[in-house]
Amino acid sequence: MSRITKSTNGKRSIPTVRKAFAILELFCANSRPYSVSEISKIFRLPMSSSSSLLNTLRQCGYLKRDRQRHFSLTMKLLSEGMKALDHVQLCDAAEPELRKLTEITNLGSIVSVLDGHELVCVHKIEGASLIRIASYVGKRSPLHATATGKAILSHLSEDEIGRIRDIAGLPALTPNTITMVSRLHKQLARFRAYGYAVDDEEHGMGIRGIAAPIFDHHGRVVAAVGVGGAVFELAHRMNQLARAVKASAARISEAVGFRAQTRRPA
């Protein structure tokens, strides 16, 4: 196991992890393959340590090895970086829309993205209400129990929904959470037709949410924008809120490059 040391600012760190990132940075800076012995000399490491680090990075998909046993970068680092860049661009585009949405609804507003089989909140604006929705930036939630999650699910293919369901299941978070596959699919079909989705006390009792999907420049659903609050705050306002979140989602989608003709069918 790697030892833990303290850096100059007093924070704990793991030298092996720092070395692994340094090796990746070397590969990024110099677009050529490296052997174990070269890495060993450059970083003044034992051959066994260099071999272990390089093979670990290969097993994680960041490096590949040729027949001469030289290591070079794969495209994974680029693809992961592009994901992060997409989220940054999405947050930049969503910021003014979330503020506008919160201003006109007085409710907390959020943008959440699909990450594997989970929903991740990437941006949030608090509303004027004293009742706060429990989501926060970085929070992970199941897709089937939230308005933003179901807005995304409603525009995925049957195969994609099935894969997510097989991994995550349909756990009950409240007595209102939908846990039957047939019921969920019927609800998603309705939400797809409406253009928005609703969470009716399915993630937390007393809390309701409404959300609409966000599409990228390929026409793929990648996120959703929504508002949430206490049930009494949303009562008798659902039509107004639905129009507001759909308009907000449309503007964010356009800002990240979506055009209606690029829409990928679910």
What pairs with residue 224 in β-bridges?
112, 213
Number of other CB atoms surrounding residue 218 within 10 Å:
11
Per-residue confidence (pLDDT) for residue 175, from 0 to 100: 95
**Which residues of the chain form CATH 1.10.10.10?**
13-74
pTM of the predicted structure, to 2 decimals: 0.67
Per-residue confidence (pLDDT) for residue 56, from 0 to 100: 93
Class of domain 80-262: alpha beta
Per-residue confidence (pLDDT) for residue 48, from 0 to 100: 93
- Angle (CA) 112 116 120, round 5°: 25
Give every residue of the chain whose pLDDT is below 50, as ranges.
Answer: 1-2
Nearest alpha carbon to residue 142 among 173, 113, 118, 109: 118
Instruction: Indicate if the alpha-carbon torsion angle 129, 132, 138, 139 is positive or negative.
Output: negative
Per-residue confidence (pLDDT) for residue 1, from 0 to 100: 40
* Strand boundaries in 74-220, DSSP class E: 108-115, 118-125, 140-141, 197-200, 207-215
Q: Is residue 229 helix, strand or coil?
A: strand
Please compute, for residue 90, the number of CA atoms within 13 A of its CA located in the half-sphere on the CB side: 29
Per-residue confidence (pLDDT) for residue 30, from 0 to 100: 82
Residue 201 · residue 174 · CB < 8 Å = yes
Cα-based distances in Å from 20 to 5, 25, 26, 45, 137? 16, 9, 10, 12, 28
Class of domain 13-74: mainly alpha
What pairs with residue 227 in β-bridges?
109, 210
The one-character DSSP state at 117 is: T
**Which residues of the chain form CATH 3.30.450.40?**
80-262
Per-residue confidence (pLDDT) for residue 81, from 0 to 100: 66
Q: What is the average pLDDT score of the chain?
A: 86
Q: For residues 140 and 138, give the distance between their C-alpha atoms in angstroms, rounded to a whole number.
A: 6
Amino acid code (one letter) for 215: F
Location of structure tokens 């070269």: 38
